[in-house]
Amino acid sequence: MATKTPLGIVELDSGSMEIFALDDLFLNFTFESEENWEEFRLMMNILLDEYRKLNPMTVATLIEGAIRIKTQYQFYINAKEKNKTRKQDFESDEFDMNRLKYVEFQNKATSKPPIPDRAFEYFVLSLGKNPDKAVMQIWLLASDADSVLQEETFMNYILKDEATNKMFPNSSSIMFISLTKLSKQKNLAGELALFLLGKLAAPQSEEVKQSRKHSTQVLNCSRTIRR
């Protein structure tokens, strides 16, 4: 924690609070506004493009179509009991391309329920709600969860036959990304990972500079900030 650099410090009635890029409140505040959706697309596509370079035959797609984003998207567990829900950080709907991406930002490797259980439950819920769409779960992990990453930087789990290796007709998947491992790479995705983790105060690439500049603008518009 001592090495992390906050985006800024907001002044609240109760005192000062450091704000980091992966804070839930900051992420939700930023991307609930339609004017910031292109920033979300840029950030996610930097990460997805890096994976696609490593695996050109992947089913993972960039966010390319017209999008709408919902923050703290609710899956209803029981149609008769609306209080029984699960919430995902983001739903990104490419409505003109019939694709959905659900994105979860996870700061800690341990959670209740554990990350594998939560990811699988969200995956099943998203498939059940959207049987006619290709659904992709994306988990950005600030701390490595070995059970799903298995010592890799990216893991993308898909449905396929174990004997023939042939794909199931629905190309939906669950991807996990280690921001810690990615941050050690000398590329655009690595620089973005450093920024998200709060380990890079002055980005060099224009894309990540844009993300940082926009982040501080959002803070300035919301509350008083000092750096």
Instruction: Judge whether 32 lies within some domain.
Output: yes
For the whole model, what pTM was predicted? 0.86
**Rounded mean pLDDT of the chain?**
85
- The widest CA-to-CA distance across the chain, in whole angstroms, is 61
Q: What is the pLDDT of residues 104-155, one digit of tens each?
A: 999 888 888 899 999 999 999 899 888 888 999 999 999 999 999 999 999 9
Q: Which two tokens stand for residue 27?
A: 């992420």
73-96 as b/e: b if 16+ CB within 10 A: bebeeeeeeeeeeeebbbbbbbee
What does the alpha-carbon distance between residue 50 and residue 143 come to, in Å, rounded to a whole number?
19
> What's the pLDDT band for 44 if we cut at 50, 70, 90?
very high
Instruction: Judge whether 47 lies within some domain.
Output: yes
Instruction: Judge whether 30 lies within some domain.
Output: yes
Residue 222, pLDDT above cutoff 50? no
Q: Which residues contact 49 (CB under 8 A, 6 or more apart)?
A: 62, 189
Could you give the angle at the alpha carbon of 208 between the alpha carbons of 134 and 97, nearest 5°?
20
Count: domains in the chain: 1
Residue 102's nearest CA partner among 174, 34, 28, 24 is 174
Range with lowest mean pLDDT among 25-34, 41-50, 101-110, 156-165: 25-34
Instruction: Judge whether 2 lies within some domain.
Output: no
Which residues does residue 225 pair with via DSSP β-bridges, in sequence order? 10
> What's the pLDDT band for 18 if we cut at 50, 70, 90?
confident
Residues in the chain: 227
For residue 67, the enclosing domain spans: 8-226
78 compared with 37, residue with greater pLDDT: 37
Instruction: Judge whether 1 lies within some domain.
Output: no
> What's the pLDDT band for 175 if we cut at 50, 70, 90?
very high
Residue 90 backbone zone (phi > 0: left; psi -120 to 50: alpha; other: beta): beta
Amino acid at 6: P
44: DSSP letter: H
Instruction: Judge whether 3 lies within some domain.
Output: no
